[in-house]
Structure 1
Amino acid sequence: MREAVRKLAATVHDQWDREERRRKVHDPMPLTVRFRLADAGLFDHWANILRSAPGTDPGPLPLAGRLQHIVQVYRSVPSARLVVLGAAGSGKTILTLRFVLDRLGDRTPDDPVPVIFGLGAWDPRSTSLRDWMCDQLVRDYGLAARDPDMPGRNLAGALVDTGRILPVLDGFDEIASGLQGEALDKLNATTTPLLLTSRPAQYAQAVAATDVLSGAAVVQLDDLTLGDLADYLPRASRPGLDGGLHGTVWAPVLARLGTRPRDRGTHNVATVLTTPLMVAMARTIYSDAPGRDPSELLDTTRFRTADDLRKHLLAAFTPTAYHRPPTDSDPATGRRRRRHWDPERAHHWLGYLAAHLTRLDTADLAWWQLGTTLRRSTRVLVVGFLAGLSFGVTTAVGNLPVDLVATSHGARFALVRGLVVGLLHGLAVGFAFGMVYAFISRGATEPSRFRVRLFGRGRERRARFLPRFTVGLAFGTPIALVLVLVDRGVVEPLGLADGLDGGLLGALMFVPGAGLGIGLVLGIVAWLEVPSDIRSAVRPAALLNDNRKNVVFHMLVWALVFGLAAGVANGITDGPLRGFLAGLVFAGEAAFGCGLGYGLSWTAWGQWVALSRIWLPLTGRVPWALIAFLNDACERGVLRQAGAVYQFRHAELRDHLAQTFREHASQLPFPDR
């Protein structure tokens, strides 16, 4: 347990330290983010917050401070429950990053690990806070290993139940509006120490509808001041001609803000640049990019209102981010990546991804969910077609050498028979796998949190063999029967029988043998699976790679089981040459036909390949190198990685991109869905 906590702490620190560096929080210095005690009526009695003795009525705590004081303020609250309120873009996310990193910076081995949970993904109607946090820890940090001290509980549950996790619950306002009151009730059912962030209006509405968060103190973030802008923007810009702070591109704007604050243009700028989000975007557009003059922000003919100016910054941020190369390196390899994406195409792809999240009503961009907003009929057709294609091509190619070597019908017969059998078998198997996908595709297929290990089998791993074997037997037997009926009812009447099927006895042996073989494949894979390591699941690409390796291993097991069985059986009856040839053909058909079809229809990685690596790029919705694009967007500060998923750096940016995409959807070469 202690080792798991240590690894988790290191992983969380590395994750958010990298994100803070990407956001240039300390380059050249942090913005001055202040907070103060929130208005009365939003927090509990001070006696409950301070855990005072009965009969006492203590006064309030001095909770005002700055970003760098958030850990000290949290520790001054005896209940260890603190709510941070702030408007959109006011710095709540930066505050949570600073809180997590500062807590980890002086953490002792017995202290809990602060972990950020995005509350927008929580449905309090169906899942308790404890179970939901456990699911998130498994998803983002691979804590799926069994707890040796309590059967039936995984490592995530053990850490939560023993108080080793300090929840940092980010985005209470992103919970569906009708569920925020219920979520507050669920939070009040616990005394778990926590830090929670929310926009003020949504939190106040939930409090009015239910109750305050028990034992929780509440602070609210303040707007940035003109002095904060004057301190930060010049230092974040190139030096002026005089080499000092007074000759930067921001000098005319700051001068106007100070001398003519009542002008409409200066009022718009002063209103918009009150949040760290808008200041960061203004910096990216006008300080980091050469040749841009922020004086245009004062133009009231272009920006009549503050909202017009805000929309301008949101619209200009993404193209500007893609006009400069990323500077971060790949954390897995340490190598610099210099991909250059067309800004217009990047804006379109990000718009599709933002609209996808809007339809799913979530902030989490998970690679295994990317195809789920397509029409179900489209998904079934794509998966069935690719599964049928892989099986059909493999069958056609595999039949050629068999008929050339084992029969005297000649090359033309072998070619025609291979094409016909490949087409018919591909149609049958494609239909079967398509129906399987249709049956299991009511939601996104979750990625596997397992890896393959050949040794060290435990009792719980052996217990998974029989259920998987039964599923494989139940699925494989009817598929084998359909293939036999196709051969007997269609191929033979066309005069394409090659005499190698063994007649009635061969059919009677093939059908149950194929079912048993498929059951054995699935059972063996289940036998060899163990939970993934904590560090292997912290990045989306790592989880994707683990799932790809699992599918490749599946294919190898398919090849070994069917290749060995066919080779031995044919070698005994027809000699070693025929046995070797049959084993080779069956191994290829099983791996690239059945194994790949299984991967496409039953696994998250296979569906990712079919929908997100083939269909969505083919229709122009996303780039072909999608993971590289998403990682690059993180380096440019457009997205961020949150465990195993991506998120837009802010909901305002996501909503703007989604709206822009919908407005231009009519110009797409294919329908949006």
Structure 2
Amino acid sequence: MRGRGGLWRGVVMAAGLVVVAGLLVWMFAAWRAKGLQTSVNVAALIAVLLAVPTLVVGLVSWWWRQRGPSPVTDADTLAAAKDALAVMVAAQWREEARIRELDDPAPIPIQWELTSDPRIMDHPAHITAAAVLTWTGTGDQISEMAGRFRTLRRRRLVIVGGPGSGKTTLAVQLVRELLDHPNPDDPVPVLVSIADWDTERFPRLQGWLAARLTETYPSLRAPQYGTDAPVQLVQRAHVLPVLDGLDEIPAQARTNVIAALNRSLADHDQLILTSRTREYTDATLARDVVTSAAVIQPQPLTADTAADHLDSCLPPIPPPGWADTLHQIRTGGAPHLTSFVSNPLGLWLLRTTHITTRIDPTPLTDPTRYPTPQHLQAHLFDQLIPALIHTRPPSTDPADLFRLRHRHDPDHATRWLGYLAHLLDTVPTRDLAWWRLAATSHTPISRLARLAFGIATGIAFGCTFEIVFGLISGIVFGLVSAIGIGIGAHEWAQETPGYARLEITGRKGLLVRRLAAGLAAGFAAGPWAVLAFGLSAWVETPAATGRANTPVATWRADRALHLLRACTFGLAGGLTFGLWFRPEFGFEHLGGFAGGLGAGVAAGLTLGLASGKHHAWLAYLIATCWLARQHRLPRSLMAFLDDAHRLGLLRTVGPVYQFRHAEFHDHLAATYLSPQDH
């Protein structure tokens, strides 16, 4: 049956192509035999013959899709989507773990135990089937931790702890372990930042999680997986949500999230949640605990454990000063330093600023210079950016994940990151989304867009025609463009990125189908429809295989979508205007074909950039130019952020950046000085 269906599709396709070819021959023959006017009349008739059936089919298809609920994805298709999601998540966090150096040389052996506060955890009988609820484990034995998670009655876990205590690191470790060693029918663990969950817009976890899957893993929208694979995966409990950063949202939002979680979670729904201890305690006391969830917290690293980990990071023959420093840590001879490295953040800072750079750590043991762990932390935060930049010179080798792609001045990098931290605090949020830069920085997008497009369009039209008409047309079309752009530009800063994939491999058939659909409309709307609508529909259709969205990937995709629209509209507009501005139509005084081509390209480029529903890249482009002129950010912001991520200063959670540690974010924001203050 499948082979017969393919045969019939081939026959129908061939017949359609024969009909289209015949119509084109008819139009060409009419032009050769009876002139251009007759050919135009024939083309109009052909447009009607093709446009009416196309419109009818489109309307019937729309009505059929809207007449009932969305079709349910069959089991095999959903299983394929689940497998694709698991592959994408595993690749995503494998690379992120390498950049964060979570396994170099080995995970920090943080001891995790059940919370000692009974107020923030549900009744033990709701959590485990065993007579007594117990939990012990260390970060360097993650397989045992994953095994304990699987023994929980409903597999729900809340990870709490102080600042920099390794909560997110443990969540990432669990995601990787559960993916690397899955049990049959296990859901796919997906780590997402909880920062943008609006419980008024998404009162249930499932709706918000499906939206995040669609945004972060666009391949799930490929036709091969049905019309609503993200929704079906979530609704059928094939996804284990790992929600990071409950403490990073406002207090009222935290209580709303806990209430929404308890409303959303059914009997077998699983969950992992991270939060600072104080914020989670306040939220549960104000609302309720997370139903059936075990709550674990880290124990401070002992002096011997911290010293042993630092020793394992040193070369076999340590540089001068380290033997005495490790002795001071073990014996408590420098209490402020021993307390500082009892926290994983302290260990990472000391390793990055002194072991990698081979700087003598002896001054850090002096209590008169650094009387408290807080003084020591502030000092090492100040040294962090210069240390990373100086020890990792630029490289163009794609295999060097930890090396910069561009050279940066440490002072400039510190100021730029400080401005971003300060900017995020005004929202407030921990998520650095490039498409929100224009709105967050209050860049006057509409005014700047009107100015840029008005001048560009005016110059293009003015240079196309003769002096007098060119001057007049330049002024007129420049004003028209400025007014038209200004009407919609004020919304660009609120728009989200679009999706575009330009790879042809494995997508040739889809390209042909999209262009064929555009061709049917093209007879009625001209070559605009063939290029603009056919190609745009093709690039915006996800492929079944892909990777998780990252900030750079979403930025490049939205840029590609903008440039494709501009080029196709510009080319089609140029050809259309050029053909119509022929002398036989009475336009010889406007420059003929050349004049029409220039005017059409100018109009098409403007329309291509301004049309559509995604303008995030344009808003970003205007905002970065504006902020670079004020010396607040670099002109090539995404390249700089990518380098900051490679250095380990930033981390990625889907399509957004975050500072690797919230404490580093807070330090940069608190010490930021605007360019006017320098």
Distance of 1:132 and 1:295 partners within structure 2:
50
Match of 1:215 among 292, 295, 314: 292
Structure 1 residues 563 and 458: CA distance shift in structure 2, 3 A? closer
Deviation at 1:66, TM superposition (A): 0.7
Q: Quote the residue 1:447 is aligned against.
A: 497
Does 2:404 align with 1:391? no
Structure 1 residues 330 and 120: CA distance shift in structure 2, 3 A? farther
Does 2:156 align with 1:84? no
Deviation at 1:455, TM superposition (A): 5.8
Deviation at 1:280, TM superposition (A): 0.2
Post-superposition Cα deviations, 1:377-434, rounded to whole Å, max 9, x if no partner, equal: x2222222222222122212222xxx3xxxxxxxxxx2x6534542443233223312
Q: Quote the residue 1:342 is aligned against.
A: 409
Listed as ranges, the gaps of 5+ residues in structure 1 are: 53-57, 404-413, 470-512, 669-673
Read off the aligned partner of 1:435 and give its amino acid letter. Answer: I
Structure 1 residues 541 and 619: CA distance shift in structure 2, 3 A? same
Deviation at 1:582, TM superposition (A): 4.1
Q: Quote the residue 2:489 is aligned against.
A: 437
Deviation at 1:298, TM superposition (A): 2.4
Read off the aligned partner of 1:616 and give its amino acid letter. Answer: L
Distance of 1:310 and 1:110 partners within structure 2:
45
Instruction: Please state whether the residue corresponding to 2:391 is helix, strand or coil.
Output: coil
Q: Quote the residue 1:531 is aligned against.
A: 541
Deviation at 1:349, TM superposition (A): 0.9
Structure 1 residues 119 and 335: CA distance shift in structure 2, 3 A? closer
Q: Quote the residue 2:100 is aligned against.
A: 23
Q: Quote the residue 1:495 is aligned against.
A: none
8 A Cα contact 1:563 1:585, kept in partner: yes
8 A Cα contact 1:392 1:425, kept in partner: yes
Distance of 2:484 and 2:278 partners within structure 1:
51
Q: Quote the residue 1:609 is aligned against.
A: 621
Match of 1:622 among 633, 642, 664: 633
Q: How does 1:4-19 map to 2 (within 5 A)?
A: 4-19=81-96
Distance of 1:457 and 1:338 partners within structure 2:
34
Q: How does 1:441-520 map to 2 (within 5 A)?
A: 441=492, 444-451=494-501, 456=510
Post-superposition Cα deviations, 1:286-330, rounded to whole Å, max 9, x if no partner, equal: 10013x222222223332322212211222212211222168987
8 A Cα contact 1:566 1:579, kept in partner: no
Q: Quote the residue 2:257 is aligned against.
A: 183
8 A Cα contact 2:320 2:360, kept in partner: no
Q: How does 1:168-207 map to 2 (within 5 A)?
A: 168-189=242-263, 190-191=265-266, 192-207=269-284
Q: Quote the residue 1:483 is aligned against.
A: none
Structure 1 residues 99 and 435: CA distance shift in structure 2, 3 A? same
Further displaced range: 615-624 or 30-39: 615-624
Structure 1 residues 596 and 207: CA distance shift in structure 2, 3 A? closer
Post-superposition Cα deviations, 1:113-159, rounded to whole Å, max 9, x if no partner, equal: 11101112222233232222122212221156278898xx6222121
Instruction: Please state whether the residue corresponding to 2:631 is helix, strand or coil.
Output: coil
Instruction: Please state whether the residue corresponding to 2:274 is helix, strand or coil.
Output: strand
8 A Cα contact 1:83 1:195, kept in partner: yes
Distance of 1:332 and 1:388 partners within structure 2:
44
Structure 1 residues 27 and 451: CA distance shift in structure 2, 3 A? closer
8 A Cα contact 1:44 1:213, kept in partner: yes
Match of 2:601 among 568, 578, 588: 588
Structure 1 residues 459 and 92: CA distance shift in structure 2, 3 A? same
Q: Quote the residue 1:484 is aligned against.
A: none
Distance of 1:88 and 1:35 partners within structure 2:
15
Q: How does 1:151-162 map to 2 (within 5 A)?
A: 154-162=228-236
Structure 1 residues 461 and 196: CA distance shift in structure 2, 3 A? farther
Deviation at 1:435, TM superposition (A): 3.0
Instruction: Please state whether the residue corresponding to 2:312 is helix, strand or coil.
Output: coil
Q: How does 1:101-250 map to 2 (within 5 A)?
A: 101-107=176-182, 110-127=185-202, 128-143=204-219, 145=221, 154-189=228-263, 190-191=265-266, 192-239=269-316, 243=317, 249-250=321-322
Read off the aligned partner of 1:603 and give its amino acid letter. Answer: H
Q: How does 1:295-310 map to 2 (within 5 A)?
A: 295-310=362-377
Structure 1 residues 251 and 444: CA distance shift in structure 2, 3 A? farther
Q: Quote the residue 1:35 is aligned against.
A: 112
Deviation at 1:574, TM superposition (A): 4.3
Read off the aligned partner of 1:352 and give its amino acid letter. Answer: Y
Post-superposition Cα deviations, 1:204-244, rounded to whole Å, max 9, x if no partner, equal: 111111221111111111111101112111221234xxx3x
Q: Quote the residue 2:557 is aligned against.
A: 546
Match of 1:256 among 315, 328, 334: 328
8 A Cα contact 1:140 1:645, kept in partner: no
Distance of 2:610 and 2:457 partners within structure 1:
7
Post-superposition Cα deviations, 1:354-382, rounded to whole Å, max 9, x if no partner, equal: 12222232222112112222335x22222
8 A Cα contact 1:562 1:587, kept in partner: yes
Deviation at 1:622, TM superposition (A): 1.6
Distance of 1:388 and 1:335 partners within structure 2:
43
Distance of 1:64 and 1:197 partners within structure 2:
17
Deviation at 1:535, TM superposition (A): 2.1
Q: How does 1:260-409 map to 2 (within 5 A)?
A: 260-261=332-333, 266-290=334-358, 292-325=359-392, 338-375=405-442, 378-399=444-465, 403=466
8 A Cα contact 2:160 2:274, kept in partner: yes
Post-superposition Cα deviations, 1:63-90, rounded to whole Å, max 9, x if no partner, equal: 1111123211211212110111111100
Deviation at 1:9, TM superposition (A): 1.6
Read off the aligned partner of 1:432 and give its amino acid letter. Answer: G
Structure 1 residues 115 and 648: CA distance shift in structure 2, 3 A? same
Give the TM-score normalised by the residue count of structure 1: 0.79
Q: Quote the residue 1:667 is aligned against.
A: 677
8 A Cα contact 2:222 2:542, kept in partner: no
Q: Quote the residue 2:172 is aligned against.
A: 97
Read off the aligned partner of 1:384 and give its amino acid letter. Answer: R
Deviation at 1:250, TM superposition (A): 2.7
Distance of 2:540 and 2:383 partners within structure 1:
47
Post-superposition Cα deviations, 1:165-214, rounded to whole Å, max 9, x if no partner, equal: 11111111112112211111111111320111111111111111122111
Structure 1 residues 260 and 277: CA distance shift in structure 2, 3 A? closer
8 A Cα contact 1:6 1:109, kept in partner: no
Q: Quote the residue 2:17 is aligned against.
A: none
Identity of matched residues, %: 31
8 A Cα contact 1:268 1:306, kept in partner: yes
Structure 1 residues 84 and 308: CA distance shift in structure 2, 3 A? same
Distance of 2:398 and 2:550 partners within structure 1:
10
Distance of 2:571 and 2:244 partners within structure 1:
48
Instruction: Please state whether the residue corresponding to 1:195 is helix, strand or coil.
Output: strand
Give the TM-score normalised by the residue count of structure 2: 0.78
